[in-house]
Amino acid sequence: MRRMGTPGMLPLAIAAVLAVGALLSMAAMATYAMTRGDWGVGNWGMMGNGHMRGMMGGGTNTSNATASVGTKSEAVAMRDFAFTPGNLQVPVGATVTFTNYDAAPHTATAQDGSWDTGLLNKGESKAITFDKTGDFEYYCTVHPAMIARLTVR
């Protein structure tokens, strides 16, 4: 008569081998995606590129660039962990619309605290009207290496 009972350690060993194989496959796919900078949500590469650029000190500081002279209605894009344009000049009374095109959230916050867009997720915008003259250095509170300049004349 054949003995009936627990099958022993074989099913447990098979499950362990399958789990380790699945983990190795996921790690290989993640490594491939990180080195290519392609997570399917934009440019999320490793240090110095994309998502990590602003967090690792490789962010773009365009505040010393020549100012783009704007009109009463201007737009600033938050894209690739930088503000574009990085140096904007607008007349008093101008409205500037800040739009986030990155998958990561951003803010545009005046260094002196006089204005702030609040946290903007991908596709969100905030319009701010500037009624007083001034030179405003601003940055992203989430990615402090993202800095730019707005001049109101």
Query: Residue 12: its pLDDT value, please?
Result: 77
Judge whether 1 lies within some domain: no
In sequence order, the β-bridge partners of residue 139 are: 109, 147
Judge whether 95 lies within some domain: yes
Judge whether 148 lies within some domain: yes
Residue 80 and residue 54 in contact, taking contact as beta carbons nearer than 8 Å: no
Give 90's pLDDT tier (boundaries 50, 70, 90).
very high
In sequence order, the β-bridge partners of residue 87 are: 149
* 35 vs 15, residue with greater confidence: 15
Please tell me the total count of domains within the chain: 1
Judge whether 28 lies within some domain: no
* 31 vs 153, residue with greater confidence: 153
Judge whether 32 lies within some domain: no
Give pTM, 2 decimals.
0.58
Judge whether 5 lies within some domain: no
Judge whether 29 lies within some domain: no
Could you read off the pLDDT of 39-85 as tens digits, one per residue?
444 444 434 444 444 444 444 444 455 556 667 899 999 999 999 99
- Report the CATH number at residue 142: 2.60.40.420
Give 28's pLDDT tier (boundaries 50, 70, 90).
low
Long-range contact pairs involving 102-105 (C-beta distance under 8 Å, separation at least 24): 102/42, 102/78, 103/41, 103/42, 103/44, 103/51, 104/51, 104/142, 104/143, 105/142
Judge whether 13 lies within some domain: no
Q: Please determine, for residue 24, whether its predicted confidence score (pLDDT) is greater than 50.
A: yes
